Structure 1
């Protein structure tokens, strides 16, 4: 079958085609920007029967270097109805072509092919997911989503037990300061910076210490599950050769 008008498949498995390419094939005299809204008035709905496709295209005008090019991706049923509305030789030819496309699309061979394509797509999605989750496999994905925040000293012990990185609490604190995760000096020294708290890498645990001159608040920096995952990968990359 000759492809009179190129067709494609959307994410839902529907056959679609370009409104502009249909307009061109039908040899409609009315400009596309005026013609397509008239076709929509026959009862078609955006995001159900068609979607808007807008692109920016370069021009030769320095004052207006880009212009917006509007097209529509329409479903096959809408294209068939539009072809009938035209009441022309080209319209009849287009409708017959669309019927052949639909017949071929619903043939047993194409149904099997679509099922295989869908299965392949799911396999690729699974492979992508496995790749994205690789950092979790060495340490346990559950840690990253838990609220099991631990102290820097406990984290130093953990990375030694897991990967033999003997850095110790004090050196780890220094490493975190040097890398910009913790505040280097002042009253808030060793507290995590606000942006890393907002990213979910650290928490601060306040403790009230009673003294003769009055109560004083002391903060303890804790590494969250998400932070443990990220920092462990960085430490492995730096200390394990």
Structure 2
């Protein structure tokens, strides 16, 4: 069967044709907009046809300009009706063609083929949904894993009362006090004066540390720097930017 007009399938698995293609094919002399106005009065939109806007190129002052054209996607039944209504030889030819197209479309082989295609599409859709769910689950697991060190460290900080020495904080990262002090110095947070680590001026007034005096072996008082809860959280946020996180599990430090 030779194709007289392009036939497509819409989202409802119905065969449809272009009203403009039909108008041109059946050879009526009336311009398309008037022909459509005269012949579509008894038609029901979204049942017999759907509105379609086409984009076409037109010559304009030696250049090319895009222009929107109004078209309509007709069901085969509607196309048969309009073809017969034209009362032209071509119109009768098109009506006969549409009848043959319908018979082929509704044959057992074609019905089975479409059913298999629909089933295949459904399987693919379910596979895509499953893949998306697996991706979302993986992302959620990763987010939980990423947040776990933060939650554990925050819990530990909030449960900690009073001030802590840097050696205790370093332990939460699996490091020594010496290593930790050196890191904070390299990050421009603190400097050493004598035997005491002090914060640089821009951090000194933020309430991150407290300096207390404790006696040494000779009963002489020496300053020692201790970190507040606010300071411990500051350390966490700063080191997180360097991809340095505390251990997930913490020993009892109380």
TM-score by length of 2: 0.53
Residue deviations 1:172-222 (CA, integer Å, cap 9, x gap): xxxxxxxxxxxxxxxxxxxxxxxxxxxxxxxxxxxxxxxxxxxxxxxxxxx
Q: What's the CA shift for 1:57?
A: 3.0
Residues paired across the two proteins, number: 154
Q: SS state of the match for residue 60, structure 2?
A: coil
The answer on 1:76 being equivalent to 2:76 is yes
Distance between the aligned counterparts of 2:96 and 2:76, measured in 1? 12
Distance between the aligned counterparts of 1:68 and 1:80, measured in 2? 27
Report the equivalent of 2:11. Answer: 11
Distance between the aligned counterparts of 1:155 and 1:32, measured in 2? 72
Q: What's the CA shift for 1:156?
A: 7.3
Report the equivalent of 1:129. Answer: 129
The answer on 1:115 being equivalent to 2:112 is no
Q: SS state of the match for residue 132, structure 1?
A: helix
Q: What's the CA shift for 1:71?
A: 1.4
Q: 1:14 to 1:156 in 2, by over 3 A?
A: farther
Residue deviations 1:135-167 (CA, integer Å, cap 9, x gap): 2233779x99xxxxx99843779xxxxxxxx9x
Q: What's the CA shift for 1:130?
A: 2.2
The answer on 1:154 being equivalent to 2:124 is no
Distance between the aligned counterparts of 1:40 and 1:90, measured in 2? 19
Q: What's the CA shift for 1:133?
A: 2.3
Structure 2 gaps of 5+ residues are: 155-172, 174-239, 245-254
Report the equivalent of 1:92. Answer: 92
Q: What's the CA shift for 1:56?
A: 3.1
Give me the CA root mean square deviation.
3.2
Residue deviations 1:19-71 (CA, integer Å, cap 9, x gap): 11111110111111111121111x10112111111133343337994321121
Report the equivalent of 1:209. Answer: none
